Amino acid sequence: QVQLVESGGGLVQPGGSLRLSCVASGFTLDYYAIGWFRQAPGKEREAVSCASRGDGRTYYADSVKGRFTISRDNAKKTMYLQMNSLKPEDTAIYYCAADDRFNICQLRSTRYNNWGRGTQVTVSS
């Protein structure tokens, strides 16, 4: 059974950092493109970042470029999202996603079949 479980969310002050983790079970993470998405109250789910399988090419939403870094440790079956210089507008529920149907990762949530349940990130003073 494919399962993704996020952790690492919490309350942080503006300018602070958090690292989100997403542990995969039931499948080999190496063969999957991965992504992080977020959804703020009253807004649609939006892409944050993704990483392709194979060459590991990464992509970022303009709003997080230079502040967030996506990575993975296939041996630990874990993907990460390092978030620095956090802003109040980063407040949202963050979800990890994975799919093995494409090599190049996608920044569209509708392309992913496997999702975690989310972890809350709140940026506030």
pLDDT band at 1 (very low <50, low <70, confident <90, very high): confident
pLDDT average, residue stretch 13-28: 96
Flag whether pLDDT at 26 surpasses 90.
yes
Distance of alpha carbon 114 from alpha carbon 88, whole angstroms: 28
Each residue's pLDDT tens digit, 80-103: 999 999 999 999 999 999 999 989
Residue 121: what pLDDT? 98
Q: What are phi and psi of 88, to 5 degrees?
A: -55, -35
Are the beta carbons of 71 and 57 closer than 8 angstroms?
no
Q: In angstroms, what CA-CA distances link 52 with 56, 99, 119?
A: 5, 10, 22
Residue 55: what pLDDT? 86
For residue 72, give the 3-state DSSP assignment: strand
Residue 2: what pLDDT? 86
For residue 27, what is the DSSP state?
S
Each residue's pLDDT tens digit, 34-75: 999 999 999 999 999 999 998 889 999 999 999 999 999 999
Residue 56: what pLDDT? 87
Count Cα neighbours of 121 within 13 Å in the Cβ-side half-sphere: 31
Residue 19: what pLDDT? 98
